[in-house]
Amino acid sequence: MSIENKVIDESVQGEAILYPVKDKQAINGKKLYLESYGCQMNFSDSEVVASIMSNQGYETTRNVDEADIILINTCSIRENAELRVRQRLTDFKKKKDKNPDLIVGILGCMAERLKAELLEEEKLVDIVAGPDAYRDLPNLVEEVGTGQKAVNVLLSRDETYADISPVRLDQGGISAFVTIMRGCDNMCSFCVVPFTRGRERSRDPESIVNECKEIFEKGYREVTLLGQNVDSYRWNISSKGEIKDQNIPTTNFAQLMERVALLSPDLRIRFSTSHPKDMTDDVLIVMAKYENICSCIHLPVQSGDSDVLFRMNRGYTREWYLERIAAIQNIVPNCAITTDIISGFCGETEEEHKNTLSLMDLVEFDFAFMYKYSERPKTLAERRFTDDVPEDVKGRRLEEIIEKQREFALMSNKKQIGTVQKVLVEGFSKRSSDYLCGRTSRNSMVIFPKLSFQKGAYVMVRIDSCTSATLLGEATK
């Protein structure tokens, strides 16, 4: 049976993914249905969950109607993401009303934040498991079998799931995610992640390199190294920069990325997400050294005004951010730079908003995730500030940001017309099986005639035209 992913919704920094059936005979005859909302980290976590449940004999299915267990991996970054998840849980409750033996569970950040409401007040789920509790899922399922509600939302200072080999739910794909660290120590005032995913802890570099090697040997040609803040990855190094064990080699993010790059020149490396206050030149130097490390950096700015950044507790100023941009452009020429921008944060004035627009003019981002500020419970911003920017003002400012970014995206693509780009083929174009699609090192999507090229191949493509979202071209001889 072929395996595929189906996009069913859009969320914060990714999509809600309906996970596929595996070509594997179930051991216990029961089936697991998985959905994941939000960021790439949630997608990666769901592959860990699938591995844990597969070892218990569960077969994953893409047909929710035949599932014995439904698990939904959630995101709490924005209110809209939670509302979508609640609607899905309401749909699943209707199924449970017809089939009392059906088990419904919620995983991830929303589970960590809303455990009591989901279990007791709304009675939408049987299982609540936080991001550090996935090993306990078989026990939680067993507990539900005794007629109890099952909860484990304990956060860990040690859990990295380093010894678990994820089940690649997009078998036949060419890109895979590899989590290198978990949690976050940055207390950005608008963000719930430190409360839902816990403190930073880095994964053993040997396990990361081995997983990337295994991925490449299975036919994947691209890995994305994931962490809430990859630049703060450190192995055997304390938060103060001290060596923990003199008998164990230390590893920082630049060194880790270099080790992965050396596995094969045919394995592309991406990473996400970087933090402006922590990105150092040694990371950029390694990027420039290896052709298979993609020339694309996602560097969230959130605001172009230093006073707003101070209220956000981002740990850097406008000037610091622009200095990091200059370093990227100097050390990694032609590197694509993408970002996150929030409009209407607490107390944002019109002048502060204009400073964001002016920073966009200076940087000319290739792509951006852009949002209106959404107050999240239990954050520093909720406790300290008033969400006082009217919704219509937030909306108008967001539209100005979006409109400006559209111009820069189109301008970025126009600059690539006439160049020849190395494209990793991802599959057929959505509009025609006569065309293939793939991405450049800068993460630009390219459409070109299929000819005899296959998925997973590298193809040199001359760019002839573009839209604001896509490059169009022809394969060169």
Judge if 83 and 29 occupy the same domain.
Answer: yes
In a domain, 142, yes or no: yes
Distance in angstroms (rounded) separating the CA atoms of residues 58 and 360: 48
DSSP codes joined into one string, 227-286: -TTGGG-EESB-TTS-BS-TTS--EEHHHHHHHHHTT-TTSEEEEE---TTT--HHHHHH
In a domain, 378, yes or no: no
pLDDT, residue 231, reads 95
Give me Rg for the CA atoms of the chain.
22
Out of 152, 187, 212, a domain closes at 152
Judge if 90 and 221 occupy the same domain.
Answer: no
Distance in angstroms (rounded) separating the CA atoms of residues 54 and 167: 8
Distance in angstroms (rounded) separating the CA atoms of residues 127 and 118: 9
Per-residue pLDDT of the chain (477 residues; tens, 9 = 90+): 222 222 223 333 344 454 444 444 446 689 999 988 877 888 888 899 999 999 999 988 888 999 999 999 887 767 777 788 888 888 998 898 889 899 999 998 887 777 767 777 667 889 999 899 999 999 999 999 888 888 888 888 888 898 888 887 776 689 999 999 999 999 999 998 888 888 899 999 999 999 999 999 999 999 999 999 999 999 987 777 788 888 888 999 999 999 999 999 999 999 999 999 999 999 999 999 999 999 999 999 999 999 999 999 999 999 999 999 999 999 999 999 999 999 999 999 999 999 999 999 999 999 999 999 999 888 999 999 999 999 999 999 999 999 999 999 999 999 999 999 999 999 999 889 999 999 999 999 999 999 999 999 999 999 999 998 999 999 996
Distance in angstroms (rounded) separating the CA atoms of residues 202 and 193: 16
In a domain, 319, yes or no: no
Out of 122, 152, 182, a domain closes at 152
Residue 128's Cα: distance from chain center in Å? Answer: 22
Alpha helices in 99-226 (DSSP H): 109-113, 115-116, 137-145, 193-197, 205-217
Judge if 68 and 128 occupy the same domain.
Answer: yes
Judge if 19 and 58 occupy the same domain.
Answer: yes
Q: What is the CATH number of the domain that holds 67?
A: 3.40.50.12160
Judge if 137 and 102 occupy the same domain.
Answer: yes
Judge if 109 and 20 occupy the same domain.
Answer: yes
In a domain, 386, yes or no: no
In a domain, 301, yes or no: no
Report residue 198 as tokens: 């816990």
Do the beta carbons of residue 110 and residue 135 sit within 8 Å?
no
* Helices 281-289 and 318-331, packing angle to 10 deg: 20
- Give pLDDT tens digits for 203-244: 999 999 999 999 999 999 999 999 999 999 999 877 777 888
Do the beta carbons of residue 283 and residue 322 sit within 8 Å?
no
Out of 94, 117, 152, a domain closes at 152
Domain that holds residue 249: 174-294
Distance in angstroms (rounded) separating the CA atoms of residues 217 and 235: 26
- Give pLDDT tens digits for 287-310: 999 999 999 999 999 999 999 999
Residues 6+ apart with CB under 8 A from 237: 243, 244, 250, 251, 252
Query: In residues, how long is the chain?
Result: 477
Do the beta carbons of residue 234 and residue 192 sit within 8 Å?
no
Q: What is the CATH number of the domain that holds 220?
A: 3.30.750.210
Judge if 130 and 242 occupy the same domain.
Answer: no
Judge if 108 and 211 occupy the same domain.
Answer: no
Q: What is the CATH number of the domain that holds 456?
A: 2.40.50.140
**Beta strands 420-428 and 435-439: pairing type?**
antiparallel
Distance in angstroms (rounded) separating the CA atoms of residues 423 and 437: 9
Do the beta carbons of residue 207 and residue 162 sit within 8 Å?
yes
Judge if 16 and 111 occupy the same domain.
Answer: yes
Judge if 134 and 229 occupy the same domain.
Answer: no
In a domain, 264, yes or no: yes
Judge if 135 and 185 occupy the same domain.
Answer: no
Judge if 147 and 178 occupy the same domain.
Answer: no
For the chain, how many structural domains are there in total? 3
Say if residue 138 is exposed, middle or buried (CB neighbours under 10 Å; 0-12, 13-18, 19+): middle
In a domain, 249, yes or no: yes
